Amino acid sequence: MVTLTEQAQKAVHDFIDRENKKGFGLRVSVVGGGCSGFQYDLALAETPTAEDEVYNFGDISVFVDKMSLVYLKGTTIDYVSDLRGAGFIFQNPNAISSCGCGHSFEA
């Protein structure tokens, strides 16, 4: 299971509204790259694929492919805004280590 905090849900909802993508969901995946080996990838998607697990948070659907779910199981996605900037952060119990920016991890 992947969880979106209330702040993350609001950020996704606001982004969907700004992009005029009503009805789209959030695709969360893990791809190779970054300074620690894997990195998180977020994108809007109109529909899930046959390979996706779907999680619903109010009117927001989150699509996670089965391969990425191996690395994301139990992850909480939050959204923070502070003096250093704003963005999504991942609290991933499967990450052995992560880079300083928090966008890539080792599993």
CATH number assigned to the domain comprising residue 19: 2.60.300.12
> What is the predicted pLDDT for the residue at 65?
96
pLDDT band at 107 (very low <50, low <70, confident <90, very high): low
DSSP 35: T
pLDDT at residue 106 greater than cutoff 90: no
Collapsing DSSP to helix, strand or coil, 62 comes out as: strand
- Alpha-carbon distance of 8 to 23, in angstroms, equals 17
pLDDT band at 99 (very low <50, low <70, confident <90, very high): low
**Domain span holding position 93:** 3-106
pLDDT tens, residue by residue, 25-54: 999 999 887 665 788 899 999 999 999 999
- Alpha-carbon distance of 96 to 92, in angstroms, equals 9
Domain count, the chain: 1
Question: How many residues are present in the chain?
Answer: 107
User: Are residues 26 and 34 in contact, defined by beta-carbon separation less than 8 angstroms?
Assistant: no
- Report the chain's mean pLDDT, rounded to a whole number: 88
